[in-house]
Amino acid sequence: MKTAKLTDSEYLVKAGKIIRARQMTKIEKLFEISLPGGESLDHEPGQFVMVSIPGVGEAPLSISSSPTKRGSFEIVIRNVGKVTNALHKFDTGDTVGIRGPFGKGFPVQILEGNDLLFVAGGLGIVPLRSLINFVIDNRRDFGKVTILLGCKTPQDMLFGDEVDSWSKRLDVNFDITVDRCEDPDYKGNIGLITKLIPGVTLDPERTFAAVIGPPVMYKFVLIELLKKEIPERQILVSLERHMKCGIGKCGHCQIQNYYCCKDGPVFTYEQIKDKKEAL
C-alpha cells in the first residue's frame, strides 16, 4: 500500500479561528469564525459548512451570517451530538476545521425585485438569518419584506437584539409568536406560527416565501402558504438531513433522487412536493 499527498481533496479542511464566542441560551452557542489570511467564505445564504474537531469528527452546520458581512462568518451550535457537545467547550481563540461552503442556497438573483415572506420556526432562524440580513443589507433591491418568527418561549428567541431591530424597521413587516409563556405581563402572540400567516396581506404572484423550521412545522406552514395561493415554485424550504461528506456521495442525506447536501438544502416546494420522505 502506497500513500500520496493530495492537494485537491474535497475532504481537506481549513483552519478556522474562533474570533468571537457567545453562549446564546443554555443549549445554543454562537461562533464567529475567520479563515486563514482573512479569506472570505464566499457563501450564498442558505449554504452550510462542515465543522470539525480533530479526533472528534465533523458536523454539518448552517451559516447564519449574511455574505454581505465580509472577513468572517457565524454559526450557531445546539449541543445535541458528539461533535456539537465538544464544540460547546470551544471558545475565542480556538481553532476548528472548516470545509465548504456546500449545497445550493437561496437563489438571491431570482428573489431580486420580488416580495419576500420569511417564516422561521425555532432553530430555523439560524440559517434564515443569513438571507434576512442579506435582504436587509440590500433592501432597495427587493419588494415588500415580511418576517414571521416563532419559538417555544420568549426566552428561547435567538438573536434577540437583531430581531428587535428588524421589528422596528419601517421597511419590514414583522410578527412573532411563542408556543407558550408563563409571564403574565407578556403582551405578544401565543400560538403556532401557522396562525400568523392568514393575517399577512400579499400579492401571491410576486411573493417568494422562504421557510425554515423543524420537520413538523413544514407541513402546516405549507398548507397556509398554499391557501394564500403562492405558486409552488416560489415557496422555498431548507431541509435538515444527516450528512457525512457534503458532496453528494455518502448517501446519508438522500431524499429519493436528490442529495440534500448537493441538490439542496434549499428546495422549492415544487421540487419536493411529490417526494415522500422529504417532509
Partner 1 sequence: MQYQVLKKINFNDFIASLAKIEKVVAPVARGYNTFSFQEVKNGQDVAVKYIPTILPPKKYFFPQREKLIEFNKNAGTFEALLEYEKMVIFGVHTCDLAGVQCLNMVFSDKPKDINYLVRKNKIIIIGLECNEYCDQYASCKVVDNHLPNGGYDLFFTELNDSFIVHVNTIYGDELIDKTRLFNPAEQIHLDQLEAVRQKKREIFKEEVKVTHNDLAKLFDKSFDSKVWDDLDARCVGCGNCTNVCPTCYCFDVLDNMNLDFNTGDRSRMWDSCQNEPFAKVAGGENFRKTRGARQRHRYFRKFKYPVERYSRYFCTGCGRCTRTCMAKISLKETINALVDSKEEQK
Please give the residue ranges that form the binding site for partner 1 (CB under 8 A).
1-13, 15, 52-59, 78, 80-81, 84, 95, 97, 214-215, 240-242, 244-245, 247-252, 254-257, 276-277
Report the distance separating Cα 270 and Cα 278, nearest Å: 12
Q: Of the two residues 64 and 66, which places its CB atom closer to partner 1 in the complex?
A: 64
Q: Of the two residues 34 and 234, which places its CB atom closer to partner 1 in the complex?
A: 34
Q: Of the two residues 70 and 219, which places its CB atom closer to partner 1 in the complex?
A: 219
**Min CB(185)–partner 1 separation in Å:** 32
Q: Of the two residues 46 and 265, which places its CB atom closer to partner 1 in the complex?
A: 265
Q: Of the two residues 52 and 177, which places its CB atom closer to partner 1 in the complex?
A: 52
DSSP string, 119-139: EEEGGGHHHHHHHHHHHHHTG
Q: Of the two residues 140 and 276, which places its CB atom closer to partner 1 in the complex?
A: 276
Report the distance separating Cα 33 and Cα 106, nearest Å: 22
Q: Of the two residues 53 and 119, which places its CB atom closer to partner 1 in the complex?
A: 53
- Residue 47 phi/psi, 5-degree rounding, is -80, 170
Give me Rg for the CA atoms of the chain.
19
Report the distance separating Cα 53 and Cα 12, nearest Å: 13
**Min CB(225)–partner 1 separation in Å:** 21
Q: Which three cell numbers stand for residue 271?
A: 421540487
The residue type found at 84 is T
Q: Which three cell numbers stand for residue 50?
A: 462542515
For residue 65, the SS3 value is coil
Q: Residue 203's closest CA among 131, 128, 132, 116?
A: 116
**Min CB(13)–partner 1 separation in Å:** 5
**Min CB(256)–partner 1 separation in Å:** 6
**Min CB(229)–partner 1 separation in Å:** 29
- The enclosing H or E element of 168 equals helix 160-168
For residue 266, the SS3 value is strand
**Min CB(41)–partner 1 separation in Å:** 17
The residue type found at 69 is K
**Min CB(97)–partner 1 separation in Å:** 6
- Between strands 207-212 and 235-238, the pairing is parallel
Report the distance separating Cα 236 and Cα 264, nearest Å: 10
